[in-house]
Structure 1
């Protein structure tokens, strides 16, 4: 018996439904009521933005796989969000954190990359079926999310051709395991004094940074104007158009190279791969120009808006019934995050880093800009931007490092 036709097939109507869902979720998540605070304590807003559209698909209200909204979000909103999230990088501020902060952040990145390999091999022994077949593809998307963020995760989905069902399963692993780790870090934050005595950390530089951040916020914050918004959108979509143009040239040139080089095995013949890489690079270059000042007008927030719409369009392709098909994936995620956390604590002890740098360096990888400032502000509200700065650096590294992780996993899998 053929499946029933979806109730709604008009993309304009579906787009309106997605916008209403995103607006409703973020509005309720911002409420001060005890009910909503308690609800979102256990149900992350980002996960809800994915699951509610997937409910529409699962219940037959829409057919997300036949909608044209996702290709539009993928080709325009994803590279645009990467540009805006990268243009906010302030390398001078990161340098002022001192080498220990950067070391801890890069240790977190290495922990995600190596943890992927360790967890893959561990499940190969514990439950081989879990990592059989194309599981490595799904793991590459988690690497993108845990080094960078949702944009990098979606980029890896396209680069390694991860189907919607597997992607949904790994989104669940990403969000549930990632939020569990956030809870662990927040618990440790309340015991920072004990941790810092154990590591022998010097906190004077951190206190000076806290004071300088308070002064910077007061100096640069502004209410964005219409011109600000139009310039920010011009930067995002102008760079997106340039990335598409240069991506076409790159694919054409690589296609002219000898076939026996097998460059397609490394996604180098994928137009989308080059769009993502070029958009990220443009954002990084713009961060050294006056374009970075538009972060004060909300550049990264507009990038996040694009990202949330992308998440919703991905979610509407998911069949929720498939989430329970592979429970062993959650053990894989636990081993993965445990390796990452253990490596972070070991390096923090070796270099005598404060818990703040360990926790924020970790969360800047695992939770990205959505939750890194939450962990940072657990130490002091004025330090929240530090979490954002490191998380945005994660956006810049996420595409490159997740790609390396993906091709390494592919080699381990023998694919």
Structure 2
């Protein structure tokens, strides 16, 4: 193999950050409509794939190790300390339960889709191939992280389940293919609001009550100061340090002969738990946590792309996984539909709840703005609940597939 053009960790890190910055700059500067269907995330992941496979940057590097060891835990802390469960419940009410049941639908749907995919997988030599790898439960767990929380949960689950670059490629490709179908369905559901609300037996004053609660929500944030950033760094590093120390000492857990909790899994679970505890303290008011977290995670996504060796990729496996993802998403849809009827929730809340799952904080506000603009702040809060649950449930999805499949 030829020596990569850029080998130093500083140079590689510069390239990754430049890739992230370029695609967000291009989106803002051009406002191309293509970004409505293919968000910068896809290009941020794909660009380093080509850079590494063309020999410009390496597949393995100290910069990648640093991001895996420290970047991901720091991101989880910064993301989760902003979770406000009480605020979301105050506005959306029973709509939060619809989202939670939708999350359960993602978990169970992922296990069903993986099991079905294994049953359909054909032996080598068949004319019609359906090659879903046996270890694709790692890809199902990775994608469930995105569909319960967001990009950060997807990368955290990928790390916790010891996924490969191919698993991330399968998950990322299916995520966007399904999103292109599911988002228009959520947006278009507004046209059926009156009929849906009659079917779901929605209380006539429910929407007015949500509007009033949303108007009373204070979602302002102070400008960051030197001391607030210092406290934020202290908190994130302290939780990361303690979690890393504990994860090295906790024993692995086995179920049915398979290792379901490794040291990397312990690390993600511990960081997630400690960060959620911190979100119940005044630390939640520290400004700038969310933008810093998102900057870290996009660089981490670029890092995953750089480690993807296309010589080992299987387009047939990616296609088979995407087909199962469509089965999976409609199982989630059945769960949120049943929950909306049971809890007598309006179609606006239903669409926002599903968007908070499948699209996370990036898509939930889009759906909310289309359905009812006053619910945009609440949609972000609901997506943050998905962030809080995403790591736990994504790991559960993958491990259930591993054990049951």
Asked if TM exceeds 0.5, the reply is yes
Aligned to 1:403: 395
Measured at CA, do residues 70 and 176 of structure 1 come closer, stay the same or move farther in structure 2, by a change above 3 Å?
Answer: farther
1:311 to partner: Cα distance: 0.7
Aligned to 1:28: 26
Aligned to 1:265: 258
1:30 to partner: Cα distance: 2.9
Q: Decide whether the 8 Å contact of 2:90 with 2:213 is kept in 1.
A: no
Measured at CA, do residues 214 and 49 of structure 1 come closer, stay the same or move farther in structure 2, by a change above 3 Å?
Answer: farther
Aligned to 2:175: 174
Measured at CA, do residues 83 and 190 of structure 1 come closer, stay the same or move farther in structure 2, by a change above 3 Å?
Answer: farther
Pick aligned residue for 2:298 from 299, 308, 318: 308
Pick aligned residue for 2:351 from 334, 346, 359: 359
- Distance in 2, matches of 1:100 and 1:383, equals 14
Following superposition of structure 1 onto structure 2, how do residues 6-405 of structure 1 map, counting pairs within 5 Å?
6-31=4-29, 33=30, 36-63=31-58, 65-97=59-91, 99-128=93-122, 129-202=130-203, 204-217=205-218, 220-249=220-249, 251=250, 254=251, 265-268=258-261, 270-294=262-286, 297-320=287-310, 322=313, 324-326=315-317, 327-405=319-397
Q: Decide whether the 8 Å contact of 2:23 with 2:44 is kept in 1.
A: yes
- Distance in 2, matches of 1:381 and 1:165, equals 39
- Distance in 1, matches of 2:213 and 2:118, equals 49
User: For each residue in 1:223-253, what CA deviation from the matched residue of structure 2 results, as whole angstroms up to 9, or x when unmatched?
Assistant: 322333332222222211121122233x2xx
- Distance in 2, matches of 1:203 and 1:370, equals 30
Q: Decide whether the 8 Å contact of 1:138 with 1:167 is kept in 2.
A: yes
- Distance in 2, matches of 1:320 and 1:25, equals 22
1:287 to partner: Cα distance: 1.4
* Farther-moved stretch of structure 1 (142-151 vs 189-198): 189-198
- DSSP-derived class of the 1:134 partner: helix
- Distance in 1, matches of 2:91 and 2:383, equals 14
- DSSP-derived class of the 1:131 partner: coil
- RMSD across aligned positions (CA): 2.4
1:125 to partner: Cα distance: 4.2
- Distance in 2, matches of 1:29 and 1:183, equals 21
Aligned to 2:126: none
1:191 to partner: Cα distance: 4.3
Aligned to 2:127: none
1:40 to partner: Cα distance: 0.5
1:335 to partner: Cα distance: 0.6
- Distance in 2, matches of 1:163 and 1:51, equals 15
1:309 to partner: Cα distance: 1.2
1:118 to partner: Cα distance: 2.2
Segments of 5+ residues of structure 1 without an aligned counterpart are none
- Distance in 1, matches of 2:206 and 2:235, equals 35
* Farther-moved stretch of structure 1 (231-240 vs 334-343): 231-240
- What is the total number of aligned residue pairs between the two structures? 396
Segments of 5+ residues of structure 2 without an aligned counterpart are 123-129
Q: Decide whether the 8 Å contact of 1:159 with 1:267 is kept in 2.
A: no
TM-score by length of 1: 0.87
1:141 to partner: Cα distance: 0.9
1:203 to partner: Cα distance: 5.6
- DSSP-derived class of the 1:173 partner: helix
